[in-house]
Amino acid sequence: MREYLKFYIDGQWVDPVTPQSAEVINPATEDVSGTISLGSPADVDKAVAAARAAFASYSQMSVKDRLDLLEAIQAEYLKREEELGEAVMEEMGAPRALACGFHTLLGKGHLGTAIEVLKEFKFEEQRGVTMIRKEPIGVVGMITPWNWPMNQTCVKVFPALATGCTMVLKPPQLAPYSAQLLAEIIDAAGVPKGVFNMIQGKGSVIGEALSKHEDVDMISFTGSEPVGVQIQKDAADTVKRVALELGGKSPWIVLDDDGLAEHVAGATAGMMGNSGQTCSAGSRLLVPNARMDEAKKVAAEAANGVTVGDPKGNFAMGPVVSKSQYNIIQQYIEKGIEEGGELIAGGPGRPEGLEKGWYVKPTVFVGTNDMVIAREEIFGPVLVMIGYDDLDDAIAIANDSMFGLGGYVSGKDLDTCRDLARKMRTGAIWINGAFDFHAPFGGYKRSGNGREWGEMGFEEYLETKSIIGFEPA
């Protein structure tokens, strides 16, 4: 049983101002796995004051010293990678191989990328008489979701540390463990006091207090679209910068060529990864109408082939994160059936033999883009396959969404893939499964306004200053 009752403020593990705690539930067993403290606005005031005090000196620390710090964190991270993976498995139910694999690898990757980018980043540039300087924005409030906890936390914390910002992190209440370990890692690495602070608690309390705080210069938020809208409103009175990384309903276009079966199978299995709880998941699979029968057979086989079970066992998919997430997904599956979607795999209820734990059947519908299940983010292992007549039709369907986070194109003809990628209105497009830690990641439309990852992830945390006359004319 885990017990994490202290917050990390000003380089110390401290008790909350007003003691209050909450149980954390293991989604695989529905049992209590531990207890955390829930903070109050008074804790936020303390953490922001510590971050503000630390900013004066940390923002002036040399790049070389910041690099040394990040490398010290890297050494501590590597020592505790397995432990981080176990925490992710327990807090949000990812299978051990995924939790100790891709989940922790993403955190490590963002750390390594921050180090690489910092070595080359130009904080000053002379243009004519003007020196253009990039300076850290100040105190950053970071609010993160539970679905890829290490990824979402590390993609914020390390670029912010690299650019000279100080910060207060509020991890998700549903998945608080890995952030607690990360705070221990940062502490062990010797990050100066007050630079990094962490408070657990409710979004409606800690998140709101950070968003409204006079002395917070920026909020970096990853989470759902309605909460992003609320944060922007809460932050408006203090004119702070708000970077939003929100939800998606990402299209995956499969071209009509002899790789179709392989791509449909890969996209279907990919949708079920992390139990479908990925913001950029390819949840709308667009296949040529002329090949729909073949695509249906392949997608059904692929979904039925996804093994579901205890994250500690050797299964491809674990539970979804919580009872409430389970219920929402079930409602969407019922809605899909009600609105005439053709159910070709999965469906309502738990997979056979799994009576306890928030397990969902890998589910595939064939439907149309106007259905609710094709328009709203379900955030579970539910794929909607939609037919297209020609490539213009595919693009029209792909772009007919309020979201614009991710997009995928799979096919043999690279020129066609590139052309489709240029026409899709989303922040990132992956062609044939490529991956790049340096590629900017963020949304168009209701998927947000921020860009994280790599060099652009640094820009989020920087102000631009012009010093005119730095060089005489």
Binding site for ligand NAD (CB under 6 A): 143-148, 152, 170, 172-173, 203-204, 207-208, 211, 222-224, 227, 230-231, 245-248, 279, 377, 379, 405, 443, 448
Collect all residues with Cβ–Cβ distance below 8 Å to 431 and sequence separation of at least 6: 408, 409, 410, 414, 417, 418, 421
What is the β-pairing status of strands 406-410 and 363-367? unpaired
Q: Counting every residue, how long is the chain?
A: 473
What gap in Å lies between CA 315 and CA 351, rounded to an integer? 13
User: In angstroms, what is the minimal distance from the CB of 204 to ligand NAD?
Assistant: 5
User: In angstroms, what is the minimal distance from the CB of 188 to ligand NAD?
Assistant: 24
What gap in Å lies between CA 63 and CA 163, rounded to an integer? 8
What gap in Å lies between CA 109 and CA 105, rounded to an integer? 6
Active site residue 279: yes
Choosing from 279, 377, 417, 460, which is the catalytic residue? Answer: 279
- Comparing CB distances to ligand NAD, the nearer of 148 and 158 is 148
What gap in Å lies between CA 344 and CA 355, rounded to an integer? 23
- Comparing CB distances to ligand NAD, the nearer of 58 and 430 is 430
What gap in Å lies between CA 389 and CA 394, rounded to an integer? 7
User: In angstroms, what is the minimal distance from the CB of 206 to ligand NAD?
Assistant: 7
User: In angstroms, what is the minimal distance from the CB of 164 to ligand NAD?
Assistant: 23
- Comparing CB distances to ligand NAD, the nearer of 26 and 152 is 152
Strand order in the sheet with 139-143: 12-14, 7-9, 196-198, 166-170, 139-143, 218-222, 241-245
- Comparing CB distances to ligand NAD, the nearer of 260 and 321 is 321
Give the largest CA-CA distance in the chain.
78
User: In angstroms, what is the minimal distance from the CB of 173 to ligand NAD?
Assistant: 5
- Comparing CB distances to ligand NAD, the nearer of 51 and 300 is 51
- What is the SS3 assignment for 152? helix
Element (H, E) at 417: helix 414-423
- Comparing CB distances to ligand NAD, the nearer of 85 and 207 is 207
What gap in Å lies between CA 101 and CA 87, rounded to an integer? 12
Choosing from 90, 91, 245, 377, which is the catalytic residue? Answer: 245
User: In angstroms, what is the minimal distance from the CB of 398 to ligand NAD?
Assistant: 18
Active site residue 245: yes
- Catalytic residue positions? 245, 279
